[in-house]
Amino acid sequence: GAGVSQSPSNKVTEKGKDVELRCDPISGHTALYWYRQRLGQGLEFLIYFQGNSAPDKSGLPSDRFSAERTGESVSTLTIQRTQQEDSAVYLCASSLDVGSNSGNTIYFGEGSWLTVV
Amino acid sequence: DAKTTQPPSMDCAEGRAANLPCNHSTISGNEYVYWYRQIHSQGPQYIIHGLKNNETNEMASLIITEDRKSSTLILPHATLRDTAVYYCIVRVARAAGNKLTFGGGTRVLVKP
């Protein structure tokens, strides 16, 4: 596609339920990132996928959060047993990633707005 | 990744140039300077990036000092639609990780 596509764009869920958020990166982009942004706050890095390498999960806030990526395509971010503190916009981004000194640009999607009630 | 320092906010008059400063005094030789902006309720939008030389594109110009310890993003003719939070980010590129680390940014308000 022309850009990073995320779905759903909005999701309201009850506390304790599981949610899945989907990201379709730009075609050909090998690197994929998830960020979270709570209302009025900055972007927090969650997880990074690069090709067949082990993902960088250093930003995942708890074991309720997990993400998968199939090859170099779609990624799913799963939040189990959602809490009200999980309410945020979840942003996905992708880039080409050809190694050191690449300077390749990261492009963001419009995000999935999650509200836990 | 090197940290950046930006003023928390600034105002700009519509039609005038907006000059957004960023300090990155601990930048390493292989780190790029990236600028993104985030308009309310939208995903961050890429503006421009550079390594050593000044850069210009259809959106903005990026001026990097010779010692690379600071840079300035220039919006040549600000419009009301340029009201946004602007993020200056330095990004180390290595095989094991290539993520952007966002700071607080500068909240720019373009006034009529």
Instruction: Provide the pLDDT for residue A50.
Output: 85
Average pLDDT of the segment spanning B40-46:
89
Q: Quick check: B108 and B10 in contact, CB under 8 A?
A: yes
Rounded to an integer, what is the distance from CA B24 to the centroid of its chain?
11
Written as six digits, the tokens of A95 are: 């880039």
Instruction: Provide the pLDDT for residue B2.
Output: 61
Which residues of B fall within a CB distance of 8 Å from A43?
44, 102
Q: How far is CA A68 from CA A71, B11, B38, B89, in A?
A: 10, 42, 27, 27
- Facing residue for A108 by CB, picked from B43, B49, B91: B43
Instruction: Provide the pLDDT for residue B110.
Output: 97
Q: Is the pLDDT of residue A99 over 60?
A: no
Interface of A with B in 42-61 (CB under 8 A): 42-43, 45, 48, 50, 53, 56
For residue B95, what pLDDT band results from cuts at 50, 70 and 90? Answer: very low
Taking CA atoms, what residue in B is nearest to A110? B43
Give the Cα separation of B14 and B18 in Å (integer).
9
Q: Quick check: A13 and A84 in contact, CB under 8 A?
A: no
- Average pLDDT over all residues of chain B: 90
For β-strands B106-111 and B9-13, DSSP reports them as parallel
Average pLDDT of the segment spanning A27-48:
91
Average pLDDT of the segment spanning B14-40:
93
- Facing residue for A105 by CB, picked from B42, B46, B99: B46
Q: Quick check: B84 and A91 in contact, CB under 8 A?
A: no
Lowest mean pLDDT among A52-56, A75-79, B6-10, B89-93: B89-93
Q: Is A95 in the B-facing interface, judged by CB distances under 8 Å?
A: yes
Which residues of A fall within a CB distance of 8 Å from B102?
35, 42-43
Q: Decide which of A101 and B53 is more confident.
A: B53
Instruction: Provide the pLDDT for residue A97.
Output: 67
DSSP A18-73: -EEEEEEPPTT--EEEEEEE-TTS-EEEEEEEETTSPPB-TT--STTEEEEE-TTS
Taking CA atoms, what residue in B is nearest to A31? B98
Lowest mean pLDDT among A9-13, A71-75, B46-50: A71-75
- Facing residue for A100 by CB, picked from B30, B100, B105: B30
Do the Cβ atoms of B94 and A108 come within 8 Å?
Answer: no
For β-strands A31-37 and A43-50, DSSP reports them as antiparallel
Instruction: Provide the pLDDT for residue A42.
Output: 87
b/e for B87-101, b at 16 or more Cβ within 10 A?
A: bbbbbbbeeebbbbb
- Facing residue for B103 by CB, picked from A42, A99, A110: A42
Average pLDDT of the segment spanning B65-72:
96
Give burial (CB, 10 Å; 0-12/13-18/19+) of B59: middle
Taking CA atoms, what residue in A is nearest to B39? A110
Given CA atoms A71, A34, B26, B38 in this order, what sign does their dihedral have? positive
Instruction: Provide the pLDDT for residue A28.
Output: 86
What are the tens digits of pLDDT across the range A47-81?
A: 999 888 888 899 999 999 999 998 778 999 999 99
Q: Is the pLDDT of residue B93 over 80?
A: no
Taking CA atoms, what residue in A is nearest to B50? A103
